[in-house]
Amino acid sequence: MMKVPLVDLKANYLSIKDEIDSAIHEVIDNTSFIMGKYLKNFEENYAKFCKAKHAIGCSSGTAAVHLALLVAGLTEGDEAITVPNTFIATTECISYVGGKIKFVDVDSDTALINIDKLEKSITPKTKAIIIVHLYGQMPDMKRIREIADDHNLFLIEDAAQAHAAEWNGHQPGYYGDIASFSFFPAKNLGCFGDGGGVVTNNDELGEKLRLLVNHGRTTKYEHIMEGYNYRLDPIQAAVLNAKLPHLLKWTDLRRKHAIFYDNNLPENVQVPIEEKGAKHVYYMYEIRTKKRDELMQFLKGKGISCGIHYPIPLHLQPAYVNLGFKQGSFPVSETLAKEILSIPIYPELTEGQRAYIVDNINQFFNKLSKK
């Protein structure tokens, strides 16, 4: 039986093993383990890649969202708007700075924030918006920027799943005041442990972020403010630097797999929609069916691993019972949580594996119709 994992980190590593091994060894040979030139190189290259003025590495995607909220200037009781169908890191960080989590439901076609609802839910207490580029797709960021400007709101892009994604040709960090990234191993650009980064075009924010990640340090022994130890490890930076030149090629492969799925999956499943104006980078390829659990089980039996991103919307998580939401509070997110299934779409997926997945999904629905 063929085995298809949801993500194949080993295949990715082996495809550029020599480049990565020598990058890691160079850091070790130079014992440049904290800050230093390997980190600086990656930050410069990543800023260039994103066409942003500043890129600052940090210790994780969660730290990146936290940093974004720190510079957003939220104070106790200020609201930050985001969606319920995201990873908890997005909302944890609102709580870290004493902010109030305000959820807005998503659009049923894209699973991204419903922009009409976003506009209607702004109150005098709203201070920031966190847009999550879920699965690797950006919503209409031009319109969201205009809404943020109209209401004087700080705009954060949680781009943990959206390296190299675009809206109108612009990557994360262009429309937002700041964009945060995760370099968690399975993300589209991933390192060999935890890692993250933020990008911004604002010089003042860039300077502040550099201080925040490294104890507010201006020189070795001088601290002009309190900060954090949120530094990106140079060995991770070297891995990322070795991978970055391949990112666009890997993104193209993901997009090719998506086109294959779009064209070959049976009509029984709803395939993801790429909005006009968006460049979707398919961190996940999310299909929808009311038979989700049965399909997932069937595929597992055929050696195909799938995922669900995410099975429990945040407003229904035990961690947030105190927010007082219930079933039905955000119906679109709740329906999605029951119907979505992530099928493998990593760059190294072979044509044989792709076809095997499609064949088995077809088989599942053929069997169902015969019952």
Residues in the site for ligand PLP, rule: CB under 6 A? Answer: 60-62, 65, 86-87, 89-90, 132, 158, 160-161, 182, 184, 194, 196
For ligand PLP, the closer of residues 250 and 364 by Cβ is 250
Helices 61-72 and 203-213: crossing angle in degrees, nearest 10, is 130
Cβ atoms of 130 and 90 within 8 Å: the answer is yes
CA 266/CA 210 separation, integer angstroms:
49
Which is nearer to ligand PLP, 184 or 356 (by Cβ)? 184
**Of residues 278 and 361, the one with the C-beta less far from ligand PLP:** 278
Closer of 317 and 362 to ligand PLP (Cβ): 317
Instruction: Pick between residue 91 and residue 360 the one whose CB is nearest to ligand PLP.
Output: 91
CB of 133 to ligand PLP, least distance (A): 8
Torsion of CA 78, 81, 82, 87, to 10 degrees: 0
Nearest approach, Cβ of residue 132 and ligand PLP (Å): 5
Contact 60, 198 (CB under 8 A): no
Helix or strand holding residue 285 (H, E): strand 285-288
Closest contact distance (angstroms) between CB of 227 and ligand PLP is: 18
* Three-state secondary-structure class, residue 217: strand
Which stretches within the chain are classed as H helix?
9-15, 17-29, 37-50, 61-72, 89-96, 115-120, 141-150, 203-213, 234-243, 247-264, 292-301, 331-339, 351-370
Minimum CB separation of residue 194 from ligand PLP in Å reads: 6
- Closer CB to ligand PLP, 90 or 353, in the complex: 90
d(CA 15, CA 350): 13
What is the number of the residue whose Cβ is closest to ligand PLP? 61
User: Which of residues 12 and 60 has its CB atom nearest to ligand PLP in the complex?
Assistant: 60
Shortest CB 205 distance to ligand PLP, Å: 19
Strands 54-58 and 196-200 turn out to be antiparallel
| CB nearer to ligand PLP: pick between 94 and 295 | 94
In a 3-state reduction of DSSP, which class is residue 87? coil
C-alpha 134/C-alpha 186 separation (Å) is 14
Task: For residue 159, give the nearest of 188, 185, 186 by alpha carbon.
Answer: 188
- Rounded Cα distance, 135 and 275, in Å: 13
Smallest distance, ligand PLP to C-beta of residue 59, A: 8
Shortest CB 18 distance to ligand PLP, Å: 27
Minimum Å gap between C-beta 93 and ligand PLP is: 9
The CB-of-298 to ligand PLP minimum distance in angstroms stands at 27
Query: Cα–Cα distance between 161 and 224 in angstroms, integer?
Result: 34
DSSP designation for 355: H
Please say which residue, 118 or 269, places its beta carbon nearer to ligand PLP. 118
Q: Indicate if the alpha-carbon torsion angle 180, 184, 188, 192 is positive or negative.
A: positive
